[in-house]
Structure 1
Amino acid sequence: MHKNNAEDLLRRYHNGQVSEEEKAWVETWYLHMKTDDQTDELTDDVMEHDRQQSLDALLHDINAPRHTRLWPRFVAAAVIIMILAGIYALNHRQKTPQTVAATKPVVHDFAPGSNKVILTLSNGSKVELNDAKKGKVADESGTLINKTADGQISYAKQEGADHLKNQQLFNTAATPRGGQYQLVLADGTRVWLNAASSVKYPVEFSGSERKVELTGEAYFEVAHDQKRPFRVVSNGQRVEVLGTHFNINAYDNEQAVKTTLLQGSVRIVAGANIKTIKPGEQAQLKHGQVTVNAVDTDEAVAWKNGFFNFNDADIGTVMRQLTRWYDLEVKYEGSIPQRQFTGEISRNVTARQILDILSFKKIHYRIDGNTIVITP
């Protein structure tokens, strides 16, 4: 969308020649601008400068690579329109009869998640690693558990230590809703845990296999070991690899267990179903059956890279991700809106910012304590 188109729409708004949806865009931004307590201090020169900067930056975002695009084109265009409208309203505020209170309303919002994890040791004791100091966290029979300088969990076998024989010790790393974490297992395998997820694993891998158990979602970069396959057990399936990169989404409240492969080769075993997938493919386990399809892997691992990524997702899919990342609840009043959403947005924004974007697709909501209520 060229800035001339946005300016044309702004002129049509001023002349009363816009649709109801376009009118809502403009008036919503106008109200946001007028509740800013710094608004009245802006001069005409500053507003014109900000107007040009906003246009240049946002038009660049629309034409930039997909990872920088926050939402579908029509929403990005709407943001440009609303910024123009706000500045236009400020330039002409002496002609505007309506007034807005100087005091900002208190707006309830939900901050994005952060690095949080609870580590359960083999003796049952729990350590909140986000509060733990860097360095040694525990000693599990000669295997040191450390919190690294960048906040990860790592395991290191202590040379010369008397390791317990014929006894395998297990740890569990669990993220709460609103949390994520990264750990490095004893064999060098790296694991990224999404919100409301957990992985149970041995402190030291022994025997002929390396097996872990997953709930929720995790991304694995498995250290290669030709002699000992790496196996992930999750929600009715087993994933077997020798060394590769893949993502497993196995939340209980999702319709299918999804395993997406980025590198190497993965075998999916679910009862009598056995499938091998290649990079760029995703296996879905649903109702006991496994299907394999080519997918955009960016969508599957967007969470690990700091984004929400939706491709024709319904409101239920969107809200389930929001509830986990922002630690909130969702409730529907009346029928569930039948809308499809496509686009990508940072997971660093607040929940209200995302909800305001959804409102441009006629999703209505209110915030009731810790609950987002989707209304007709």
Structure 2
Amino acid sequence: MNNYIDMNDVEQLIIDKLTGHIGEEDDLRLSDLIARHQEVEQLWQQMQQVYAMRKAVSFDQSFNVDEAWLALQQKVNIPERVAEPVTDTVAMPVRKTNPSWVRYGIAAAATGIIILAVWFLKSEFNSQEGTVKSIQIKLANGSIVQTSAQDSLAGWMQNARSANINPGEWNTLTVPAGKSYSFKLADGSRVWMNAVSELRFPLLFTRPQRIVELKGEAYFKVAHQASQPFWVQVNGLKVKALGTEFNIKSYNGESTYISLVNGSVEVENAKGQQIVLSPGESVVVADRNSALQKETFDNTVVLGWMQGLYYFRNEKLQQIAVVAERWFDINVQLKDPSLAALHFSGAMDRNKPINTFFNMLASSGDIRFRNEEGKVIITRN
């Protein structure tokens, strides 16, 4: 697959998006490019601003579009081709077009017609950083230890020894909104935890089974120990694994998803129903009383959070807002209850300012947003 993307093709995708003629796969593709490439993001922001005021701008026929386009490229450092990571996603289709209205509009932006309010929004959102709560572990005796982004098992063990705590008792690790965390358990198993997640575990596995309890989302890479099976208890389910890798997502009020990447796991509910998964399969449970349902899953979508990317396809705005709150430690308010049912497809990058994401949603024409005292308020356009 070609490791580069042509900015002319990106330009056409943006035109299709702005005019409402983009297909579902191209829509996801464009969202991914905007999330991954600063150059594409800059072009997207410029073009959507131009489109919003295109009817109010007129140009003399003698205006030199090509010169203005080159000036804009120099201004925002947009190369003709941009490096793209190797990926298994659908290749961008080749289009040969001459989108004159966009070039006229962007040329206008280069001459100062467009007001770049987006940069004000960016600084306003960034000013909220630093308010995120800390990752912490609550030891078995109730004492709380703040943690850093490093593996901290040895430090926790030292605190437990100092407090004369039984290392086989339960401890609780909490990852708040806006954070993620990874560490190793005593048996060498590794755990990656998403925002707003909680894991209960012993500092040492002293029982016949290695048992942990999860709320939220985590990826497990389990160290193989056939004589001491590994169990994850989550939302009334038991997930048994020997040596394997799997993702579990189970937030309050949402369905539970157990997705197997490597190895084999057995899932059992409170009624005794059991399902054994093979790689590429997942179990979906609507609630504690629901039957286990097996389906296949897309690794890129399910595990995207580990790379800081959240992919959504035809998803309700209400759920998208929930993820934004978790990832950016913000409060999102939908002023009109009917907004919750609007559907969107795209990608969210937690490593970029939140305004980049909400600008993408607002480009649909259905919504607008504003920031008030640390809250993102969404209204109908």
What is the TM-score normalised by the length of structure 2?
A: 0.70
1:279-323 per-residue CA deviation (whole Å, 9 max, x = no partner) reads 111111114221110110221111112211223322122111110
Counterpart selection for 1:304 from 277, 296, 306: 306
Give the Cα–Cα distance (whole angstroms) in 1 for the partners of residues 152 and 212 of structure 2.
Answer: 25
User: Partner residue of 1:365?
Assistant: 369
Q: 2:265–2:278: 8 Å Cα contact kept in structure 1?
A: yes
Counterpart AA for 2:362:
S
Structure 2: give runs of 5+ residues left out of the alignment: 1-5, 23-44, 54-66, 94-98
Of 126-135 and 224-233, deviating more is: 126-135
User: Partner residue of 2:125?
Assistant: 109
Cα 1:173–1:106 shift into 2, 3 Å: closer
> Does 2:151 match 1:128?
no
Q: 1:190–1:221: 8 Å Cα contact kept in structure 2?
A: yes
Q: 1:117–1:174: 8 Å Cα contact kept in structure 2?
A: yes
Query: Which one has a larger percent helix, Structure 1 or Structure 2?
Result: 2
Counterpart selection for 1:316 from 315, 318, 333: 318
Cα 1:108–1:51 shift into 2, 3 Å: closer
User: Partner residue of 2:231?
Assistant: 231
Give the Cα–Cα distance (whole angstroms) in 1 for the partners of residues 197 and 48 of structure 2.
Answer: 41
Counterpart AA for 2:124:
H
The number of equivalent residue pairs is 324
Give the Cα–Cα distance (whole angstroms) in 1 for the partners of residues 223 and 347 of structure 2.
Answer: 30
Give the Cα–Cα distance (whole angstroms) in 2 for the partners of residues 325 and 243 of structure 1.
Answer: 30
Give the Cα–Cα distance (whole angstroms) in 2 for the partners of residues 19 and 133 of structure 1.
Answer: 48
Q: 1:26–1:82: 8 Å Cα contact kept in structure 2?
A: no
Counterpart AA for 1:344:
A
1:94-131 per-residue CA deviation (whole Å, 9 max, x = no partner) reads xx6x9899x96895315689995201122221111129
Counterpart AA for 2:334:
Y
Cα 1:44–1:341 shift into 2, 3 Å: closer
Q: 2:217–2:247: 8 Å Cα contact kept in structure 1?
A: yes
- Give secondary structure in 1 for the equivalent of 2:274: strand
Structure 1: give runs of 5+ residues left out of the alignment: 11-17, 33-42, 74-79, 145-161
- Give secondary structure in 2 for the equivalent of 1:247: strand
Give the Cα–Cα distance (whole angstroms) in 2 for the partners of residues 105 and 141 of structure 1.
Answer: 43
Q: 1:140–1:203: 8 Å Cα contact kept in structure 2?
A: no
Q: 2:285–2:291: 8 Å Cα contact kept in structure 1?
A: yes
> Does 2:359 match 1:353?
no
Task: Give the CA deviation at 1:179.
Answer: 1.1
User: Partner residue of 2:60?
Assistant: none
Task: Give the CA deviation at 1:201.
Answer: 0.5
Q: 1:115–1:181: 8 Å Cα contact kept in structure 2?
A: no
Task: Give the CA deviation at 1:348.
Answer: 0.2
Give the Cα–Cα distance (whole angstroms) in 1 for the partners of residues 21 and 187 of structure 2.
Answer: 56
User: Partner residue of 2:335?
Assistant: 333
Q: 1:280–1:294: 8 Å Cα contact kept in structure 2?
A: yes
